[in-house]
Amino acid sequence: MSKKKRHLGLSVLVQLYGTHAHAWRRPGTRVGGNPDFSEWASQVQLLERGKFDFAFFADFVGMGGADEYRQQVGRNFEPLTLAAALATVTKHIGLVATVNTNFNDPYNLARRFASLDHLTGGRSGWNVVSSLTPSSAKTFGIDPATSPDSRYERAEEFIKVARKLWDSWDDGSFDHPNKETGVLYAPQSGHSVRHHGDHFEIDSLLDIARPVQGYPVIFQAGNSDQGREFAAQYAEVIYAAAQTIVEAQAFYRDVKGRLAKYGREPDDLKVTPGLYYFIGSSRQEAQDKYQSFLDAVDLSGKKRQLMGVDVSNLSLDAPLPDNFPEPTYGRGRWRQLVDLGRRENLTIRELILRFSTVGGHRIVVGTPIDIADQLEEWFLGSAADGFNLKPTLLPDDLEDFINGVVPELQRRGIFRKEYEFSTLRENLGLRRPPNPFSQKSLSESKSVMAEA
């Protein structure tokens, strides 16, 4: 890994209109029609102009029948396909695609990500998810009663197999073809994968060279204890949610403190909390923007949810009941929600506005200097290595951040002015994984030579 000064990481969850549920309804927003690649390309090119580390693409596959996801369907692209297309119109920014381990198999996915890493010149990332909603279970014919433990076990084995497949070939295996002898590559540079596990049976060799980065950068979101442990073992970037710096520092210490038992260093995992922001030329203007966001949240309907739990039969102006049920998935965020409600004695209405509508993420409101102050405090205070921004409206709020906050962060010396390296892994300050099979082969060959 190339040594570099630690800098604040910045990324964005890119959605077509922004993260506000009613962003598509604002004046001037083009809606309807087929998916338009140019709209996505312009958003990511804007991020690259702002020197962001990566653009992150969520996926709602199989969830189009659920009310909360219907605004996403129709004009979205499948993330891996979109990332491959974006590789042709970008040069530096990382492209991170969400892919669910429940709906794929290791060989095909390892092949696709290896292809994407070569197509991007080493800028690919895989956001690993193993969630299973009732609607997606119906879509793919999967037992909806599959436990979180079982899904994590399958995801763990999935990643292990994918890594073995990426290590099918030594680095540079195809760099020295010999036309005179007719040898395209040395046979010993290939390493067949023979895996026999609880979930997968693989006996194969990946039909593409080892990825530029060794492996695509592995991303994961997990606030639960199980999710944190999974990230400590496999992830290189973890998404997080925290309302206060104390809460964020506790998460940061906890998840990084788990790395040593897996032979990893604290810097091998980057912690990036989600962040909603409202920027104004004055604090009053910023506050007015935030209030307009709150006013746009419609609570008049009969069906209301609080982090996936139906609260339609509860009074909006009452506190959480003592027997508030724990959801099947998203348990880490649910605990944060309950803790916040109990700690500040918030009503259900207040919890929906402050927590549920922003997925439990922090909200900052103020001038560009105010925003930069808070980001710097968390970055220097061991609460975050970077932030995954959630612009409520795109591209408006993103342009405000790039034009106002980014120059202030650069002036303070904590954010890059130019991309320093060619790969996402290097720009994030992450080590390139060695190929364990090629090291073993090298060791064995040295041993044989010594004996001779």
Where are the domains positioned within the chain? 9-296+362-451
Q: Give the CATH H-level superfamily of domain 9-296+362-451.
A: Luciferase-like domain (3.20.20.30)
Tens digits of residue pLDDT in 269-320: 999 999 999 999 999 999 999 999 888 888 877 677 777 778 888 888 888 8
Tens digits of residue pLDDT in 373-405: 999 999 999 999 999 999 998 899 999 999 999
Q: Which two tokens stand for residue 107?
A: 């060989």
Q: How far is 191 from 325, CA to CA, in rounded Å? A: 49
pTM of the model: 0.90
Query: How confident is the model at residue 2, as a pLDDT?
Result: 45
Residue 349 clears pLDDT 50, i.e. is over it: yes
Residue 64 clears pLDDT 70, i.e. is over it: no
| Token pair 């390493």 in the structure block, residue | 191
Q: Give the pLDDT band of residue 329 (cuts 50, 70, 90).
A: low
The distance between the two most distant Cα atoms of the chain, rounded to a whole number of Å, is 82
Query: How confident is the model at residue 328, as a pLDDT?
Result: 63
Q: Give the pLDDT band of residue 71 (cuts 50, 70, 90).
A: low
Tens digits of residue pLDDT in 43-53: 999 999 999 99
Tens digits of residue pLDDT in 204-260: 999 999 999 999 999 999 888 889 999 999 999 999 999 899 999 999 999 999 999
Q: Which two tokens stand for residue 66?
A: 């659920």
Tens digits of residue pLDDT in 89-141: 999 999 999 999 999 999 999 999 999 999 999 999 999 998 887 788 888 88
